[in-house]
Structure 1
Amino acid sequence: MDHADSVPVAELLDERRHLLEVTYWMLGSSREAESVVGETYRRWYGLSEAERGEIPTPRHWLAKTAGGLCLVLLAHPHRGATGQRDQKEEHHTKTGDAEEAQAGLAKEVSRVLLNALDSLSPAERAAFVLNDVFGMASGTVADIVGRPESECVELADRARHSIRRQRSHSTPPDEHDLLARTVRQACVNEDAELLESLLCPDATAFFDGGGKVRALSRPVHGSRQVAHSLLTLLARHPRTTLTSQSVNGRTGLIARYDHQVAAVVSLDIADHQVAQVWVVLNPDKLRSWNQLPTQGDPGSPGRPSQRGDGRL
């Protein structure tokens, strides 16, 4: 008996669904995703029983193999900007697993975001998808992409900025500031209706926990879902405050628990509404925000905002 493949059926189905989701996000096509997952399993069973038995985490091996196959496809010169994506393909997938995965993803991901991913280089797309969409640790991402960890962090960062530029129109600072402060007020008052009205219908929220805190690992799509996620994250608590403060040169939101920065929220605005929400919860990335300000350094990221304070 091959003990490497002796696992519960629920785990097998979850593993396959996970691979389909990863490959779909990387390729933007359920047909290509199905093909890559099939080839991944063919390579797995191409190993000897002894070789499979020596692999400590089969799911990681499968994800790494599938990721490598995706990178080869993405780099193909004749693939085109959108690969083999078919607008009707979600209704014609060959297996129940692929159809279920596609249907679930369709509820979470807008075609706008998939199109934005098409503008990234293969390595940028892979790093962004694995890090931001699936919340994989940077070391795991580096292993799959086949590049140094520091380079993968930079690739994901570059992809993030590229996507933000595509959705973010030139918004006057005063308008951005007013909208950000109104978002803060809606969160403080737990006003779901107001908050939803401030968001684009196809708004997307990204939650970067870095695998260090229990946060949403995939983007949330749609104004109602984004509003609900933000209100849940920033739920009223006597020791929690939400302030408006400069984040990356534009007004954003800072959530503190006691005096410690627990979340930094930046907003991208398009057509007078919030198009994208970026929530940093990773303690490593928040370290600079929690450093004590140096005397005479008003620009220190750890300095509390002097305006817009509001206890949740």
Structure 2
Amino acid sequence: MSERRQLINLAYRLLGSLAEAEDAVQETYARWYALTPQQQDAIESPGAWLTRVASRICFNLLGSARARRERYVGQWVPEPLPDRTEWIDRWPGDTTIDPADRVTLDESVNMAFLVVLEAMTPAERVAFILHDVFRYPFADIAEIVGRTPAACRQLAASARRRLRASQPSATPTAQQAGIVRDFKRAWEAKDIEALVGLLDPDATAIGDGGGLATAHVDPIEGGAQVARAYVDIVRTAPGLTILERTVNGRPGLVAQRDGVTVTVYAFEVAGDRITHIWAVRNPDKLRPWTTGRRERER
């Protein structure tokens, strides 16, 4: 059971859903306990066995998950990790991401990163996460995805190129926090001009209601359009409390009504402007945020 945190870490990054990750890990343990004591004793490294089985389960799930997400009502956004950490004063200094190839666990869980992973093939995603994030050798990955080690190396390289092409230069996290805080203040003040100044002219806002909560079916594109749409939110939904919270390892915002979380907002910042906002409103994805503190699996 000491491997559970590592398995959740892995499965969440592979699937983009905490609920699906927990199901995959549960299935992994079910397969372990289905073995006879003799079979368990014959496994030299139970941790490696569990990782291999969990990765294979996630690899198989990714194909069906893609089909389900194509039928999803509106936009599908990865499930935000529950985190009630206030980020005020959390990032007092310059914490620019190390430009080295190695991806850290914190990097691999931010929303912009997970969104790019969603565009990859299942094999690309598994090869990249296992190798670049968790440092597994390509020979082991080959057994999981049914490819040669050389093919897995190419899959990871392809995934790496996708990420580099889609992600802006890293903005220091302390600077991101200041920009998101300024956005919160301008938003609460219904100051459209200030919001437009904080948003990239080509900014995009995506809402995920899953058919269970009101959200724009299509992305909102353009800084001015996003600013107007967000001012409309606070005008038509009085009683919202906007809180500064850590969302997938980055400065984000949480909207609550009567103490219950109704929306989680994740941001991507490039330079001194916000380029993307992801608003998760699907109550199924917010259940961990509203049903009490859950241990952060990071």
TM-score with structure 2 setting the length: 0.46
Higher radius of gyration, 1 or 2 = 1
